[in-house]
Amino acid sequence: MAAMDLYDTTLRDGSQSEGISFSVEDKLTIARRLDALGIRFIEGGWPGSNPKDAEFFELARGLDLGQAQIAAFSSTRRAGVAVDRDPNIQMLLDSQAPVITLVGKSSELHVTKVLETSLEENLNMIADTIAYLKERGRTVFYDAEHFFDGYKDNPEYALQTLKVAAQAGATCVILCDTNGGSLPHEVTVIVEEVGRAVDSPLGIHAHNDGELAVANSLAAVAGGVVHVQGTINGLGERCGNANLISVIANLKLKLGVDCVTDEQLRHLKDVALFVSEKANRAPDPFQPFVGESAFSHKGGLHAAAVAKIESSYQHIEPEKVGNAKRVTVSELAGRSNVLAKANDLGIDVAPHKGVVKKVVDQIKTLESQGYAFEAAEASFELLLRRALPDYKQPFELVDFMVVVERGRRAPSKENGEETLSEATVKVKVDGVTVHTAAEGDGPVNALDGALRRGLVQFYPGLSKVTLADYKVRIIDEHRGTESVVRVLIDSTDGERHWSTVGSSTNIIDASWTALADSMEYWLLKYGQG
């Protein structure tokens, strides 16, 4: 075995997360990305559990993988059934997977109370199944389910199951913290004790119920394991599995274990985002190493220090894992934040005395009124550019009016009445005032239509800009209907995405600000070239 084998179970254990259902094509594309990342073993599923997994293994034979091997997962033979007559075992062989991972019971409690068989028969089940598959040319891993809990209750029997597996020919025996309740110091001690008693390479499979799966995996490495199992982004049943993204980064950058190459490590964020997309889950911005906020700096003191010495508030160089430093702006911002952000945006503020202070003061004033620029960087860029003396806005609002009308126009299936919205907008472009109107499904939709109708006469490209998302947050709930609301609008032109913000006690006014910023930002960046 290699110095440290990475074993991914995203396609099997990870798919047991609530709300996740990978298609066969999803699983095939994820497998290719895992192979490119440097994962040595990719667990594709349980061939006997459903038709989708069976189809995956059939199609996986055609995957052109560089180094990874596909593993099939199943349990040992059933109690009282000969191994060559157990249909699950035959399906494992039919999958033609070169690696087979068998889960078996290593806890006396589970053998007697869950399987309802004898301790001796369980040992036979482990030995028979491993030997049978080894004789047919398969590499076999043994996943010792509930091992740590079983070891605490009956260490002699738990160790006996591992010895039987090793003697039967298991390439590696993997210690599973199935309930996810072990502590790192316990894991290290137990792994060391097992290493002295069992003549086999050891692995770790940790669950995250105590939010310690990554810590327990690293603790097991400290104890001597040479095989680590986990899932991308920590997907998995209940609270998930050990997050391989964090495991890989810590092994490589903190422990000096060359489990992947430097180049593969630089794709860590890309892989995390790719799997999130396939799982139809929004990426966690606060995920260590690869989240958008993993290397963001909000406080002015932090930003000032990072501008001088990046390691002052960063534990690694973010580029090593494919990420980047971000300086955000907020009411905590100081000159350093604004200067750093201006530099990132390519805006030279040095010739304009007083601009930075003006922007900092504006940010603090606006955020006291409910604005937040951390998730609306397009609005921040506009704020910065508008502070420059030579900035010319592409259009100017003269006024707008929104009317919400109920009942006169069209019958509704529910109560015979329908609510319609109509907006009128006056905007001025190069001294020309345009007055337009539009109806919409709601007031913001109508306002969007009216503004767009007025501006496309001057800027035809705006017709491809659309709203991708619209969020409203109440800032001070205790004031009821008088509360300040913050509106965040995500926009796209089909190629790029950007976010803008507005805030007011009037939701229409807040929406207008975010909407107008969205249009102005696109014109500034992409529409006048």
133-155 average pLDDT score? 98
d(CA 402, CA 206): 56
Higher-scoring residue by pLDDT: 3, 187: 187
- Residue 402 and residue 512 share a domain: no
- Of 423, 438, 458, which residue is a domain's last? 458
pLDDT in tens, 159-196: 999 999 999 999 999 999 999 999 999 999 999 999 99
- Residue 253 and residue 144 share a domain: yes
Task: Specify the pLDDT at position 415.
Answer: 55
- Residue 374 and residue 313 share a domain: no
Quote the pTM value.
Answer: 0.69
- Residue 476 and residue 454 share a domain: no
Asked if residue 133 belongs to a domain, the reply is yes
Q: How confident is the model at residue 468 (pLDDT cuts 50, 70, 90)?
A: confident
Task: Specify the pLDDT at position 323.
Answer: 87
Asked if residue 468 belongs to a domain, the reply is yes
pLDDT at residue 529 is higher than 50: no
At residue 59, φ and ψ (nearest 5 deg) are: -75, -30
Q: Tokens 């807040």 correspond to what residue?
A: 510
Task: Specify the pLDDT at position 371.
Answer: 82
CATH code where residue 527 lies: 3.30.160.340
**In residues, how long is the chain?**
529
Tokens of 428: 């001025």
- Residue 415 and residue 301 share a domain: no
Report strand pairing: 419-429 vs 432-440. antiparallel
Lateral strand order in the sheet of 396-406: 396-406, 419-429, 432-440
- Residue 421 and residue 471 share a domain: no
At residue 266, φ and ψ (nearest 5 deg) are: -70, -10
CATH code where residue 446 lies: 3.30.160
pLDDT in tens, 19-75: 899 999 999 999 999 999 999 999 999 997 788 899 999 999 999 999 999 999 999
| 386-418: burial string, b at 16+ Cβ within 10 Å, e else | ebeeeeeebbeeeebebeeeeeeeeeeeeeeee
Asked if residue 286 belongs to a domain, the reply is no
d(CA 16, CA 519): 42
Task: Specify the pLDDT at position 63.
Answer: 93
Q: Please count the other Cβ atoms lying within 10 Å of the Cβ belonging to residue 442.
A: 15
Task: Provide the residue type at 233 as one letter.
Answer: N
- Of 229, 245, 278, which residue is a domain's last? 278
372-381, 444-453, 504-513: segment of lowest average pLDDT: 372-381
Asked if residue 267 belongs to a domain, the reply is yes
Q: How many CA atoms lie within 13 A of 382 on its CB side?
A: 25
d(CA 500, CA 489): 5
Report strand pairing: 172-177 vs 396-406. unpaired
Q: Tokens 């792994």 correspond to what residue?
A: 191
- Residue 471 and residue 440 share a domain: no
Return the H-helix or E-strand segment holding 73. Answer: strand 69-75
- Of 458, 479, 511, which residue is a domain's last? 458
Region label for 343, one of left (φ > 0), alpha (ψ between -120 and 50) or beta (otherwise): alpha
Asked if residue 288 belongs to a domain, the reply is no
Tokens of 364: 């603090």
d(CA 324, CA 49): 41
Q: For residue 299, what are the contacts with CB-CB under 8 A and spacing of at least 6?
A: 332, 334
Per DSSP, the three-state class of 265 is helix
Asked if residue 290 belongs to a domain, the reply is no
Task: Specify the pLDDT at position 208.
Answer: 98
- Residue 153 and residue 26 share a domain: yes
- Residue 327's domain comprises 296-360
Q: Tokens 């000969």 correspond to what residue?
A: 82
- Residue 176 and residue 36 share a domain: yes
pLDDT in tens, 102-129: 999 999 999 999 999 999 999 999 999 9
d(CA 126, CA 174): 13
- Residue 321 and residue 221 share a domain: no
- Residue 175 and residue 73 share a domain: yes
pLDDT at residue 320 is higher than 70: yes
Per DSSP, the three-state class of 200 is coil
d(CA 422, CA 78): 69
Q: How confident is the model at residue 346 (pLDDT cuts 50, 70, 90)?
A: confident
pLDDT at residue 528 is higher than 80: no
Q: What is the mean pLDDT of the chain?
A: 89
Higher-scoring residue by pLDDT: 482, 473: 473
Number of domains composing the chain: 4
d(CA 98, CA 500): 51
Task: Specify the pLDDT at position 329.
Answer: 53
CATH code where residue 224 lies: 3.20.20.70
Asked if residue 209 belongs to a domain, the reply is yes
At residue 242, φ and ψ (nearest 5 deg) are: -60, 130
- Residue 320 and residue 232 share a domain: no
Provide the percentage of residues in the chain whose pLDDT is more than 90: 65
d(CA 500, CA 487): 8
Asked if residue 222 belongs to a domain, the reply is yes
